Amino acid sequence: MKKSIKLIVLCVGLQLFSFAILAQSKAKQIEELLSKYNEYGQFNGSALVAEHGKVIFQQGFGQANMEWNIPNQPDTKFRLGSISKQFTALLIVKLAEEGKLKLDVPITTYLPDYPKENGDKITTHHLLTHTSGIPNYTDSPNFFKDKARNYYTPEAFVKTFSSLPLEFTPGEKFSYSNSGYFLLGYIIEKVTGKTYEQYLQEVIFTPLKMVNSGYDHSDVILKNRAAGYERKGKIITNAAYVDMSIPYAAGSLYSTVEDLYLWDQALYTTKLLSAKSMESLFKPYISLGRPAYGYGWFIDEVDNGDKGKLKTIGHGGGINGFNTIISRYPSDKNLIVLLNNTGGTVLGEMNESIRAILYNQKFEQPKRSLAFELFETFANKGTKAGVDSYNKLKNDPTYNIKENDMNRVGYQLLQDGKKKEAIEIFKINVATFPKSGNVYDSLGEAYLADGDKKLAIANYTKSVELDPSNEGGKKALAELLKK
């Protein structure tokens, strides 16, 4: 019997040792991967990866403050952008669980001053699932120029969009709307009698000991807060100011990779909600083909090789100077968190590669972004030199044409008044990604800015054809056809 016990202990010990070696190997692969992205100017932030509920990797890359050469660390605080929505959603479900609000009644029940013509048709469920039809306030013309720098109370800001016509009948379709999640924060305040920030701290951050998370305020001295930057090709600049009353319950929070791990782990428990209520967060209410949407989370299935499909629950975020992603794999309690402070970058691509490492699958090695090279040439030497540079580098195996990078560069050129150059960049993107509705939408916008109505209509039409959920494209097309 003693020999049997010793044998069992030995086998368990060997198994644990084997798991530890595998975890170390995966951590090293992740470090090498992210170091290469950092070298290529595509990741400047902090990362955390957990496998089977245990952290196997956490590290900072690049600088939290470039002017003082202060490095990013696992405890560096980053603005989260739309990752904030999952916290807002939980607060709403918490109030529903406690019987303090209902998800299926008109929002005018809780916001009696909201215009009834629209408010009586919209439920809290519609807001949670982006099916309200309320126009997204960040898509409004000149939003960043006219409103983003100004302070608003929640009540005052709601009035800036509450009387706008709905884009569709509530519940009819999905259209991502920050306006809906802004309203959820305002509903929380009306129902609880507390500020959104107070209730958030009381219900989530304090119980979970998320001491490095909160509602961001630009005037508060916040230890270990990362500065936000934007990239224009190879040039990095300070991000434009945004008053944090504007993103509010749709995107105002800050956190660290370490605190988001605590959040992830709590979602497997009943510390914050009952099991039934917790399950309601991750139910795919709105099927988008791929992915679907729950309450503050995108729900998807990805290929897992011989093991079939793998369920993933996640969300990304973007706000001036910051780009973020959290990706959860509940069947294995795996987690990937990437927080970046140089504006938009290819976090989705990095996330896919890290997932491949976790599941012992092949993945593509990072490549330099051709968009960064092209921006310099198009911006400084014009369209002919830019096109020549593209033709020279497009077959270089060390470079990769990335849709989002190209799109970002095109808009930077457009904002700088270089319309012809922007059109050429968007044309390259269309030729490279002919099945993406987004690239045609961008090209249509550039042609419109350049005064070419015919080509603007053609490209908006193609965009909507490829992506029927493109409400902005439909609206632009309708306006063009009226003229």
Domains of the chain are 81-358 (3.40.710.10), 368-482 (1.25.40.10)
pTM: 0.89
Tokens of 99: 């019987």
Give the mean pLDDT of 215-220.
Answer: 95
* Structure token digits, residue 112: 């009696």
- What percent of the chain is predicted at pLDDT more than 70? 95
Residue 316, token pair as written in the block: 């990304």
Instruction: Pick left, alpha or beta for residue 193 (phi over 0 → left; psi -120 to 50 → alpha; otherwise beta).
Output: left
pLDDT digits (tens, 9 = 90+) for 390-419: 999 999 999 999 898 899 899 999 989 999
pLDDT tens-digit readout, 334-389: 999 999 999 989 999 999 999 999 999 999 899 998 998 899 899 999 999 999 99
pLDDT tens-digit profile of 78-102? 999 999 999 999 999 999 999 999 9
Q: How far is CA 279 from CA 174, 316, 330, 337, in A?
A: 21, 20, 12, 21
> Is the pLDDT at 469 greater than 80, yes or no?
no
What does the longest C-alpha to C-alpha distance in the chain come to? 89
Q: Give residue-wise pLDDT tens across range 218-244.
A: 999 999 999 999 988 888 999 999 999
pLDDT for the residue 468: 87
